[in-house]
Structure formats: structure tokens, C-alpha cells
Structure 1
Amino acid sequence: MNPSTSLDEQPVVARLEDFDTRSGGLAERLLFNHRAWVVALCALLTLLLGWQALRLQLNASFEKTIPTKHPYITNYLANKGNLAGQGTALRVAVEAEGPDATIFDKDYLATLQKISDELYLLPGVDRPFMKSLWTANTRWVAVTEEGLDGNTVIGDSYDGSPEALAEVRANVERSGEIGQIVAANFKSSLVFVPLLDKDPRTGQALDYGQLGRQLESLRERYGNDGHVRIHITGFAKVMGDLIEGMRLVLGFFAGALVICSVVLYGYTRCVRSTTLVVVCSLVAVVWQFGLLALLGYQLDPYSVLVPFLIFAIGMSHGAQKMNGIMQDVGRGTHRVVAARYTFRRLIVAGLTALLCDAVGFAVLLLIQIEVIQDLAVIASLGVAMLIVTNLVLLPILLSYVGVNPAAAQRALRMETTALSAAPAGRRSLWQRLDLFTQRKPAACTLGAAAVLAVAGYAVSLQLQIGDLDPGAPELRADSRYNLDNAFMQREYAASVDILTVMVATPDDQCTRFGTLEKVDRLAWQLEQLPGVEATNSMAALSKLAMVGYNEGQLKWYDLLPNDSALGGVQTRAPRELFNQACSFLSLYVYLKDHKAATLDRVVQEVEGFIAQHNTADVRFMLAAGSAGIDAATNIVVKQAMREMLLWVYGAVLLLCWFTFRSWRAVVVAVLPLMLTSILCEALIVGLGMGVKVATLPVIALGVGIGVDYALYVLSVMLARLRAGDSLSAAYQHALQFTGRVVMLTGITLALAVGTWAFSPIKFQADMGILLAFMFLLNMVGALVLLPALARVLLKPAAAQAAHAGHAEKTKPPACEASPRAG
């Protein structure tokens, strides 16, 4: 049997004794001639890796979500000890309930003290920098006739009496904390809780899932008594909510499994083969989990969806193998021979498709954000497992179990009916699809595709990098977290979106006039920008101190060009503005939001200032704070996006060339993918999404996974063209052998991931919508656009000529039936 032998021309071998077990390639002989050993080894691996999978943990790491090699983040990490937990700090607002309630109430302050004490004792809290009305670092300063006076806001003499409450109110008004940790309407106050990356007690990474549960327990205990309401924001709380939401992913996974199983059974009407396809796909996921545990990886909110993608890819490839075996058995071929025939026909296309999937994942390693790199490794491991479970184990298991004879006969009747002439005036779906191989329909299809490509590209030019919505875009706008964030934005002048400019000086020189004058000038420039609400720095504090030193006269609100006078300010300055050695200053820039446009304006202004004013002694550096880290992440994502697509398309082109050895076939396979990528970017714009850590991987995955459909259809078409069939006949054979399953899996997987749109986790819903769109569009491209392109590029004579040179180098053994294109 030669490579051009089609499905219906293969010899029917009803008895296993009549089959030459020495036929086929080396891989086939090694695997199928030792089937029992292969099954036993896979069973042993499943037991061992399944046991290891039980150790796999769910967690998140702050540093993994940021581009640690970017200069901004390098600066942040180098000066992290001076920054009081910026980036991972929690803000817990305690709101007094009731129309006339204020924070100046005995019961409120007692509750605030208990909450502050409990937060202080949480694991991973950077306690010296924690701040609330009850901490010693919250002080008031006033100008008196004797000079400056000050103390803690709630002093040691506080006893809850009306006089003590009046004193607290006066102290708050003199503290400068209104709008910072006290709301302007006096109805709530903040507890600022900076966090360390590791739990000092265990030395392990901080468990955000556990921390999130502890915070919710605190909210439930104190927020349900009708006296106060608790609002919590910060990266750790976002991660905690996402980790809790990951439990819902199991429900979606189960739903997807049911959808895929029911639809596949509805197509095959064979319980045993459907069960085997599902089981082999699940075995790949179990192996993936076990290897991740062995290698020390954890699942995080960004990679938790990968196992479903692995399952979905496995279902797609498994359905192709099952369909081929079912058609052979329907013709009377023995189940073992049918399994070997299918292995021969589809191993090259299947292996190439899975390698393209792996490349789509592996190229994400180029993005210098560890959470995406982990996702790439996790997904690539899963695809490697599929090569064994769905390309090897599944055909071998089917060779033992076989398929339902009635289902096999049904599949054969469906093929015969579809290929036979339809009644006058009526066409089957497959005959309608065959119209796209004709000149006029093909021309119209290519014209429509060109229009879509141009329109999609025009829309995609509006694609924005970063978050386009306030709050945590990973969660729904009406989520508890985003409602809490809206409360913070509404009640406090100090935004939760803070960009920190760092200033390094020699020791004991941070309060020199020359240094503070530059800080003050940069702060003034930034305050003029749209989106900047306020700034805070040692320079601003020094100007206020000059007023205090001069009997409160505002004409002294300026920097005094006297280093000694300015140096005296640091004895009363809060430690978050400078470090102990007076060699580091922080300029806090409070932003209206963390949208990409706002961050770009601020970053460009600071970069311009740095270029003009940095010296050997005074160095301004970007960037810390949540908004500073977002700015660095946006820059990395923007640089990586096009580079990532170039690499993934380059790898797909090479793999397609290796498979087909024809530039025409490569163009036919890849152009539908390119159209899908363009329209996916347009959809991202249309849905109001930005390209960020959560959505960037989808674009690459859509290319790697989408090429599967084209490879399966095109491999059969080229085999038939080389055998001398017309383009129409070749496409009809491809539709019946692999096209049916391409349509089945495309629709099934789109339905399965489409259920994610109902997830309370926003980025999971976004990924579900985008993946469903790409599954469907890639399927339509393989069944509609591919034959139209083939009409222009793949003429039967050209296909034979392209194959001639390669055939001499790759003559297969007798009876081999690979459709490998040349």
C-alpha cells in the first residue's frame, strides 16, 4: 500500500491472521506488536502520576505576575526594603453604619482596634509599616506658640470618654490623614497592611488562598453585626478571590466533559469508543498534574484553565482516530488492522498538529513574565502527554475493545449517503461545502475573506495594551472586590492606583535642597497631567514644615534653600517617605485609574524628566507601586505581542513545510489562521478588552490549536490529489474521513469553552469567549476558506509535481498508508 492509497482503497482484512504484522513503519511495529506492554506501562504511569497529582497545590505569587527582568521592576526589587510593601499591600476600610454614624464613636474605635490587632497578627504582614488610627506611626503635628508639637492620633490616655473622642477628632484633623487613612466624611477609616512575599514562620511563599479566607472570616465576624461594614482591596485579595473562584473551574471542567461526551456519543452512537476517547484525554490531564507536582510547579489562577485545553485538544485528536477506525471496521476490517491503518494514515498529521499546539504554548516562554512562562511549561507538558495518550494509547486500546458493529455500519452508511448523488434540487451539507472548490464560489469566498481581513485589521489598530476598566479587571464589575474598590475610590483622596518614583542619593543627602527641589519640580509637572490626582513626597512635607516653623504663615510654603533646616524635617517625617540612611526618597503619584493611557502619560513625563535631571548623586528611577508595576507589565506585553506572533507563525510554517514539503500547501494551511488572528484582535477591541497577562496567551494558543483542523483536512486532500483525483473529489474524501470530525470538534469545543462566559471570574469569561470564537472560526476556515484557496493554489498536477521529488526520499514500507503531503 502506498501513500496515495485512500480509505476506501485499503484492503479489507477481516481476519487478523491474514495481516502481515511486519508491515508498517518502525514506530507502528514497535507499538502494535507489543500492545500489552504499552498498555501495562501506561497503566503503571497513570497510577504513579495520579498519586503524585494529589500533591499538586493551588496558589499565586506576586512576583510571578510581574516582569522581573524589566528595568522598572529591577529597580523596584532592588529597593524593595525601602518601599513598605508596595504592590502587595492590603487596604481594609472599616465603615461606620448608620446615617449619622462617624468614626468618632467609642464602639467604632473599639471595633477598629480589634480589627487592626487581628490584621497585625496575620501571617506575612510587614508589621513596622502597618498603619491605622491605632498604630504609633499615625501622628499629628501642630504649630503652637511654643513651636511644633505632636503625638500619636490615639494617645495612651484615650479612655473612650466624650472628652477623649473630641481629642481624637482634633488629632485626626491635625494629622494630615484625611483622605489618606480617614475618609473626608469621617464615616470610615483605613487599615494599611503591607505584606511580605514569604511567610516568616515557614519561609514559604505567602498562601493568598488562606489569607483570602482569613480576611473573609474577619469580614463576616465584624461586618454582620450592623455596626460596621468592611471593604478590602489589594493584590492579595484579588488573588484570594481568584483562587476561591478556581473551585468553580472544576464545575466548568465537568460541564465541558459532559458536553464533549454527549455530542461525541451523539455522532458515533458507540459507548465503548466514546468512553475510551474521554478516558485517554483525562489520562493526559492526570499525567500532566503528576509531572507538575514532581517538578515543583503549582497551578495558579492563570494556568488553571490549561488542563481543560489539554482535555479539549485530546478530544479533538481522539475523535479523529476513533472515526478512522470506525469506518474501517464498517467495511469489515478487523479491529486491530483498522487501528493500525488509522495510526498510519493520521500519525504524521496528528503529530504535526500536536507539535504546532506545543509550539503555540512554548512560544509564550519568550514573554518575561513568570506566570505566563509557567503556563507555557504546564501546557507544553500536557501536549507532550497527548502525543502518547491520544496518538498511541487510544488506537491500541481501540484495537482491543473495537467499536460497536452497528455504529460502524451507521458511519459507513452516512459516508455512502453523503457521497452519493442527492435528489434534484437538494444538496447535502457536504455537497454544499464542495461548492467552495468551484471557481465562482471560491472567488466570492476569497473576496469576502479579503474584505474581512482588511476590516478586521482596521479595527485591530485600535487594540490597547493593559487594563481598560477601573478596579480588578480579572473580576466582574459587580464583584465584591470591585464594589469595595469603587468605595475606596469614592471615599478617599489617596487613590489605590499609586505609581512611585524612586530617588537614590548618597547617604545622609536625601533632604538636601538640590535633591528636594528636583523632586518638587517633578511632582508639579506630574500634577498637571490628566489622570493624576495628587502627589506626596518629602519635598511636600518640607514645605509644610516651613509653614509650621514660621507661625503657620502660608507665605513660607516653599523649599528653604538651607540644607540644615530641611534636614531637621526628617526627624518628624513618616518612614514611608525616606529610608533610615537618608539615601532614598519616594515620590508617590496618586492616579485616577490604572488604564494604559493614564500610565503612558505619566511614564513618558517621568522618563523625560530623568533624561534631563539625573546625575551621579541624584538618580530618579521608575517604578514601584501598583500602577508602576502595571506600567512595566504593559510595556513587556506590548513588546512581546508581535514578537510572540512572529515566532508562533514561523514555527507553524516550518512544521507545515516539514509535513507537506510544498509552499502552496503551507499557504493554504496558514492563511485561514492569519485571518482568525486578525479577527480575534478585532473582537478584543469590540468587547472592550485590553491585551494583558490574562488575554495575551489566547492569541498564541488560537494559532497553535487552530492549525489542527487544516492539517487533518489538507493531508487527506493532498493524498487524493496525488492519486489523480479532481480537487472536488479530493475534498469530498477529506470531508468524509476527517472533515466531519473537524466540524464536530470545532462546534463541540466552542460550546464547551463558551460556558466559561458565565464564570464570575472575568478573565476566564473573556478567555472562553475568545477561544470559542477561534475554535469556530478556525473550523470554518478549514472547511470553507481552505478549499477556496486550494482552488487557486492546489491543482492536481501541481500537487503531483510537488510530491515527486520528495517521494523518492520517503518511500514508505509496503502497506503503509500515510497521507503525508509532499
Structure 2
Amino acid sequence: MSEQSHFFNRVEISLFANPKLVLLAIFAMTLFFAWQIPSVKMYSDFADLLPQKHPYIELHNEIKDNFGGANVIIVGVEVEEGNIFSNETLELIHQVTQAVDNLPGVNHNLVSSFTHRTTRKVWLTEMGNIVSDPYYRPQDPLMSAEALTELSKAVVANPQVYGPLVSSDMKTALIKAQLNEGALDYEKTFAQLQQLRTDYAREGINIYATGQPVLVGWAYYYKDQIFQILVFTALIMVTLLIFHFRSWYGVLVPLAGVLVSTTWGIGIISLFGYNLDPLGLVIPFLISARAMSHGIQLVERYYAELEETRNSHDAARRTFQNLFRPGSLGVVSDAVGLLLIAIGSIPLNTKLAHYSSLWALSIIITVLLAVPLLLSVLPIPSKTQLKQNVLRHVADSASGVVVANPALILMVGLVLTVGGGFVASHVTIGESEPGSPILYQDHDYNISSKAINDSFPGSEELYIVAEHRDEGGMKKPEVLRELEALQRHMLLDPDVGGSKGMPDLIKQVNRLLHNNDPRWQQIPKDEFYVGGLMFAYMASSPIPGALKEFVDPSERVANLVFFYKDHQGETIRRAIHTAKQWIEENDGKVDGLSIRLAGGTIGVTAAMNEAAFDTNKVVLPLVFLLIFAFVMIFYRSLQAGFMMFVAMFFATTLTYAYMGLAEVGININTVPIIAVGVGVGIDYSIYMMDRIREEMVRRGDLRESVRAALRTTGLAVSFTAITLIAGIVMWIFLSDLRFQADAALLLSVMVVLNGIAALWLVPSWVLVFKPKFITQLSDDAGEIIQRNHSQAPSEDL
């Protein structure tokens, strides 16, 4: 026996010599972690969703206070009949604007609405002075029909208002409010926004709301529903445990392991000082489900061992001997998949990786160790024989099929993998449809987004920032003409609904100073003249920072805004590609000028998509490589590692094929699920491989060993897979969050595919290729089994 096995044997003897003492220590640690739970907070921080090291996000952080960012609320007020230019509607728009401005967390300097004080009409007086007034004054008496007509004409004459803030059919007015980033109270802001929509609702008036803060608010809104579903899921899983085991041991022991593991996990979150994000709750749930899965495996094996030994302590110890090491290998695989998520630069995933990997590792103590120790001190259960249910008959039939047709099964697996790889190549990076995939298409949020995007150039903004090395560089005519050329180039994209920038403003003011003659709507040739136009525009407004949305105070940095109707992955890729193409062709053409990408909703989402893709591209190969290495080292066999690699590759390839068919994109929400799914699946394959190896020691016949493993461990794997699916599948029917439903479907598919790999591919591979680490057993494996047998007073072999 090797030194490693001697050490493991000594630890095992020590643990089972004092099981109550060890359990008491685990209980004390559980109380310690439980004490930490009340300090855990649940909230969303927008900055946690952003890959902070990405150049787009670095730019976003630089400009968000001056030009705004992606954390913006967009409200649309629409009239069903006529247009918005009536006294009643204008007053309503003004009231809604003020109410939006007063929402918690709003940056009052970055509110846009055509009735807001910062949006002003500019004209030239008879004396040659430029003056400005707000478009709407609430203190004025009711406007006449002529005055309302003049107001509508003034709005149409200003391209900064007509189109961006008032729809072309004049039926909808838009209100935008930028939120300050940080630990915002999204729940409170959303509640007040929804109350605002209720308070100002009128017959014939529709009030829409969209934007990232609104989306997060909806996630908070369904928080109670999420917890209800989790409770309902737990009840279903308990019901299945009762149906399967028909005993309190089979129900309460796995549940005790889950409860202890969950307590440790949430306590770890508290010790890290991290917050729980509502959108990230699926991963903690998965870890708890995996804890239950290991608990079921242990109780199943305990019952089997008890049939032979009729001694609770010996049966528990043999269960520990046979399942602790493969179970620990599976847990480490789970933890590796979770920890590697931190490779990406998204803080939410980094936090998730830190606490969830430790949570997963805690299962080694809270379940793989604690459950056998608990079983060793409990009295023998009255029922130790599991009844022959339908699942057992299926397992018996499946074992016969696998043993009879292993080569055919491998060939079918190869064909599915190749076909799945082709379909997987069409998976979208980012979103695959308009609106938000977190909610259903008929949800109020997506209806609001569609209504606003149908009426306006687009609610999704792309910021392209121009910088000049000299202060005042944005006043140079050659710089403005270069920016104008960039705007023309971007407008060739059919998805661009419009744009806004310094060139537009300069040409508009120049035209205004020349009696509104369209021939003067051009960029002047003199830098000082451009500066005069900018000064005239600022002087016309009593509101400080009139140029702030276009250029910074040093007049060195300018912002170009392009409006898009959605942030689908293809739309974003085309937008970024179009911009990069122009930058590459024109880089250095104007001395001192540089163009930087990208801000706004489109830029931020592009960074998130690129970070998710890069993370996915690095994490999955690393997960595969590390699990391959762990299995190879653990079993001292290259063939063992390669077999696990084949199982992982089959399940993962077909998972991506499903994502391609179901139009589920690769984004910051799906990457963690895929990573943890790989670890979930490899547990099944490891258990199956280890049981075949163990049965080979007992029986010496490979076919019979495979058949016995499928009837025992195969049954446990099937039941744990069904239990997990039966729980999460209910989210499809009960959750109003589409993301949760899609995640449940994705996880169900991954569980099924990994179960197929474990129950069909692994045994078939063993039968066809007859790996030496199974057919020619190591001394350690033989000694372990012999030691197990010698501990029983009598055995029926």
C-alpha cells in the first residue's frame, strides 16, 4: 500500500474512532457560519456587471459624469390620439419629468426632456443677440391653439429635440435620467418609478419605462417569487426523496447535509463582505442541489453496504471508504469550474467565483464527511432495502443495452458530437433578440422598449469619444470635419437611427446666426469663429454647462452619440466593427486627434459581451485541462483522464448546440452556468468510472462489472439527475423572469447530457477500449476492497 493510502487509512481510522467529536466540531462551525448570515445583504451594483479592465469600461468610467453612461432610466409618454401638443399633455409630460428628476439616485445634471429646464430653444433677436428659453413654462397661462402650433414648429426646427426627445409623429415625448453608479437602492427607485407610472396614468395616455435600472428593478420585483419557487422546488425534491427511499433516513440525512452546506456557504459570503445579487441566485441554488446529489449517493451506498454488514458503523465506514475520494474529486472539479470564472474581469463573476468555489469545497466536510459520520452514530434504519420502482427496471434494461452494444453507442455519440459542433458554431455572442432576455417578450419592460424604439431613433446609445492633445482642440475646423466624416460613416449602418455631436451643434448655430439660411449650415473655416459660435450658444442659456453633453469644459474631449434600436449581439458587433473600420482607415489623418471606443449602452454591452466571450474561451479549456489532470493524477492513468475529457467534450458540445438552436447567447449570465455545469456532469462520470473499477476488483469480469455499476451507481446517478431536473424545471412554469426559465432549461439539458455521458458513454468506452487502470487494477484498489471485506463478519459474495 502506498504512503498516500496509508495516510488516508490513518485519517479514516481516527475520524471513525471519534465520530461524535468530529460531528460536534462540524456543528460548532455551522453555528459560527449561521451567526454571520444576518449581515449578508442582497442588492445589485451596476459597476459589478462591468468588466472594469476593459478599455470600453475604462472610457465609460472617465466620461460617465460628464456625458453620461449606460445606467439610465428612459421614460416615454405617449398619446393614443392626436399629438402631445395640448395643454393637458404638456403639463403631464412636465410633471412626469419632474417626478423622474426626483427619483432616488438620479444625477440631476443629466436629465433630458423637452419640458426640462436644460432643453431650450435658441433664436436670434432683431438686435443680433442669441437668446434661449425653455420650450415649456409650467407657470404660463394656458396656451392658445396658435401658441401650441408655434411650439410644435419650434420643436421640429431643433434636431436636438425633434427625433431624440420628441418622436417624428409627435405622439411621444422621451425623458432620460442618468443614475449615479454605486450601491444604489434599485428596489426603492423602481418602486417609486412604478408608483409614478400609476399616479400619472390617464385614459388615452401610455407611460413606458425601460433602461438598465428598470431591468434590475424588475429582477428585485420578482425576488419574493424566486424564493417561493425555491421553497416549492425544495418540496418537490423532498417528495422525490420520500418516493425513492421510503424512509426518514433517505430524506432527512441528505437534507441535513444540504442545510449545513448552505449555512456554511452563506456564512462564507458574509465573511468575504460580498453581496448577493438577485440575478446570481441560480449558482448558490446549484451548489445546494449538488450537495443533495452527493448526499443521495452516500445514503444509497450506505443502504447497499448495510445489506451486507448489518452493522451501521461498518456500513457507514465502508461508504466513506468507497465514495469519499471519488466524491472529493468531483467536488474539486465543481470548485475548479467555479473558481476559474474569476479569470474574467467582471466583478460580479469574480465575487461569485470566490465564494461559490469555497462553498462547493465545503461539501467535502459538510456532506462527504459529515453524512457517513452521522450515519455511523445513528441506529440501523428499519428499512434498508430500496423497493423495485420503475427507475430500477429502467436501469436494469439500460445496463443490458450498454453491455450488448458499446461500439454502436460510441459511434452514435461521435456522430452527435460532430453534428453538435456544427450547430454550436452558430451560438450568438450577446443577445440574440431585441429587448432583454431576462424577461419575456410580452413583459411590460420589453413592450416599453419596443414602443420607445419604434417611435425614436433608438433608446440604445453608442458613445464614440474624440480627444485632442491640445486644450480647445475641439474648436479646430479640421477636427470637426473629421468628426462629421465619422458620423456620416456610422450612419451608413441601417441599424443607426440617428446621431448627435459637436458638428451638428456648430452647423445649427451657424445657420441660426445667418437668419436661419440653410446654406450656412456648415462648419466654419476659422477656429476662432467656431469658438464664437460655441460661446454664443453658451451665452444664450442661463443654465450652466449648456455644452456639457457635447464637449468637456477644456474643449479637448467631445462625445458623438449614435442611436440604435436594440442591443442584440449582431447589432453591437456591426456597430463596433463599423467604428473600428473608420478609425483604422483615418488614424493619424488629423494631427493630435484620437478616437476612442466606446461608451453608452451599446459600448458597455459590447464590453460585457467581449468579456463573456473571452472568459468562456479561456475558462472552458482550463476546466477541461485541470479536470483531466486531476483525474489522471488521482487514478495514475492517462486513459482515465482522457475518458473524462471525452465525456466532458460530448456534453459541453451538445450544450452549445442546444444554445444555438434555442437562441441562447453567450453572456455574463450564461458563462457561470456553463462552467458549473461541466463540474456537475463530471461528478456523474467519476462516480460511474470509480464504481466500475471497484466492481472489477470484486468480480474480475468487465462486462459483469459494468452491468453491476449501472444497476447501482447508475441508478443513483439517474435519480439525482431526475431530482435536480424536477426541481429546476418548475422555474420554467412559475417564474416571470425569462432568464430563470432559460437557465433552468439550459441546466436541465446539461444534466441530461452529462447523465448520458456517464451512463452510456463511459461504460461503453470501458467495454470497447478496456483501459488498463480498470482491467489491471493497482495494488491500492485491491487492498481497499479487501480491507472492506475483512471488516464484515460475514459476506455473501
Measure how far apart 1:69 and its partner are: 0.5
Partner AA of 1:378 in structure 2: Y
Query: Larger deviation: 69-78 or 647-656?
Result: 69-78
Alpha-carbon shift at residue 23 of structure 1 (Å): 12
Shift of 1:157: 6.1
Residues 88-108 of structure 1 show CA distances to partners (whole Å, capped at 9, x for unaligned) of 111112234x534x4333333
2:624 and 2:648 in contact (8 A); partners too: no
State the percentage of identical aligned residues.
Answer: 25
**Secondary structure, aligned partner of 1:331:** helix
Q: What is the 5 A alignment of 1:413-812?
A: 429-438=395-404, 441-493=405-457, 495-505=458-468, 506-571=470-535, 572=537, 574-611=547-584, 612-614=586-588, 617-723=592-698, 725-758=700-733, 759-794=735-770, 799-801=774-776, 803=778
- Cα distance in 2 for partners of 1:191, 1:530 equals 25
- CA distance in structure 1 between the aligned counterparts of 2:415 and 2:45, rounded to whole angstroms: 44
- Cα 1:775–1:141 change in 2 (3 A) is same
Gaps of 5+ in 2: 538-545, 792-797
> Distance between the aligned counterparts of 2:7 and 2:46, measured in 1?
55
Q: Is the 8 A contact 2:74 2:211 kept in 1?
A: yes
Task: Work out the CA distance in 1 between the residues paired with 2:36 and 2:628.
Answer: 37
Aligned to 1:397: 374
Contact 1:367-1:373 within 8 A present in 2 as well: yes
Structure 2 residue 11 is the aligned partner of structure 1 residue 47: no
Quick one: which of 208, 213, 218 aligns to 2:191?
213
Q: What is the CA–CA distance in structure 1 between the aligned matches of 2:410 and 2:109, rounded to whole Å?
A: 66
If the length of structure 1 is used for normalisation, what is the TM-score? Answer: 0.89
Separation in 2, partners of 1:83, 1:697: 32
Pairwise CA distance, 1:76: 1.9
1:114 equivalenced with 2:114 (yes/no):
no
Task: Note closer, same or farther for the CA distance 1:522–1:728 as it changes in structure 2 (3 Å cut).
Answer: same
* TM-fit CA distance, 1:585: 0.4
Task: For residue 800 of structure 1, report the CA deviation from its aligned partner.
Answer: 4.8
Q: 2:279 aligns with which of 285, 289, 302?
A: 302
Aligned to 1:38: 22
CA RMSD, Structure 1 to Structure 2 (Å): 2.8
Normalised to the residue count of structure 2, the TM-score between the two structures is 0.92
Residues 579-600 of structure 1: CA distance to partner in whole angstroms, max 9, x if unpaired?
1221110011112322222222
Letter in 2 for 1:627: I
Aligned equivalents of 1:259 and 1:164: distance in 2?
66
User: Which residue in 1 is equivalent to 2:258?
Assistant: 281
Superposed CA offset, 1:556-596 (max 9, x none):
33222111221123232642111122111001111232222
Matches of 2:215 and 2:670, distance apart in 1: 17
Change over 3 Å in CA distance of 1:434–1:116 after alignment to 2: same
AA at the equivalent of 2:587: H
CA distance in 1, matches of 2:149, 2:81: 20
CA distance in structure 2 between the aligned counterparts of 1:131 and 1:445, rounded to whole angstroms: 63
Are residues 1:76 and 2:60 paired? yes
Q: Identify which range, 453-462 or 74-83, moves more after superposition.
A: 74-83
Q: Report whether the alignment pairs 1:379 with 2:356.
A: yes
Which position in structure 2 is the counterpart of 1:194? 178
Report if the CA contact (8 A) 1:153-1:175 is conserved.
no
Does the aligned pair in 1 maintain the 2:688–2:713 contact within 8 Å?
yes
Question: Do 1:341 and 1:817's aligned partners in 2 also have CA atoms closer than 8 Å?
Answer: no
**Pairing 1:87–2:63 present:** no
Amino acid at match of 1:569: L
- CA distance in structure 2 between the aligned counterparts of 1:696 and 1:585, rounded to whole angstroms: 35
Cα deviation digits, residues 711-756 of structure 1 (max 9, x gap): 1111121123245621111112322432211011112212222222
| Contact kept in structure 2, 1:530 and 1:598, CA below 8 Å | no
CA–CA distance in structure 1, aligned partners of residues 30 and 591 of structure 2: 61
2: distance between equivalents of 1:396 and 1:325?
Answer: 11
Which range is displaced more, 744-753 or 45-54? 45-54
3-state secondary structure, aligned to 2:132: strand
Provide the residue aligned with 1:291 in structure 2. 268
Residues 513/348 of structure 1: CA separation in 2 closer, same or farther (3 Å cut): same
Question: 2:232 is matched by which residue type in structure 1?
Answer: G
Q: Are residues 613 and 23 of structure 1, via their aligned partners in 2, closer, same or farther at CA, if it must alter by over 3 Å?
A: closer
Q: Is the 8 A contact 2:729 2:744 kept in 1?
A: yes
Q: For the Cα contact (< 8 Å) 2:654–2:753, is it kept in 1?
A: no
SS in 2 for 1:230: strand
CA distance in 2, matches of 1:24, 1:535: 68
Q: Distance in 1 between matches of 2:285 and 2:243?
A: 21
Encode CA deviations 1:443-462: one digit per residue, 9 max, x unaligned.
11111111101110111111
- Structure 2 residue aligned with 1:132: 113
Q: Which amino acid aligns with 1:503?
A: A
Q: Does structure 2 conserve the Cα–Cα contact (< 8 Å) formed by 1:273 and 1:402?
A: no
1:54 aligned counterpart, secondary structure: helix
**What letter corresponds to residue 623 of structure 1 in structure 2?**
A
Aligned partner of 1:790: which letter? V
Letter in 1 for 2:462: L
CA offsets 1:116-139 (integer angstroms, 9 cap, x no match): 223222222111121223322101
1:363-397 CA distance string (max 9 Å, x none) = 11111111122222232132122111111111222
Q: For the structure 1 residues 346 and 553, does the alpha-carbon distance in structure 2 shift closer, same or farther, using more than 3 Å as the test?
A: same
Q: Is the 8 A contact 1:329 1:405 kept in 2?
A: no
- Structure 2 partner of 1:315: 292
Matches of 2:789 and 2:365 in 1, distance apart?
21
Which runs of structure 2 are paired with 1:93-104 in the superposition (5 Å)?
93-96=76-79, 99-100=81-82, 102-104=83-85
State how far apart, in whole Å, the 2-side matches of 1:241 and 1:292 are. 24
**2:309–2:315 contact (8 Å) kept in structure 1:** no
- Is 2:346 aligned against 1:339? no
Query: How far off its partner does 1:550 sit?
Result: 2.4
SS at structure 1 position matched to 2:497 = strand
Alpha carbons 1:94, 1:188 under 8 Å: kept: yes
Distance 1:110 1:737, change over 3 A: same
Tell me, yes or no, if the aligned pair for 2:283 and 2:673 is still in contact at 8 Å.
no
Superposed CA offset, 1:606-637 (max 9, x none): 22333332466212100100001111222222
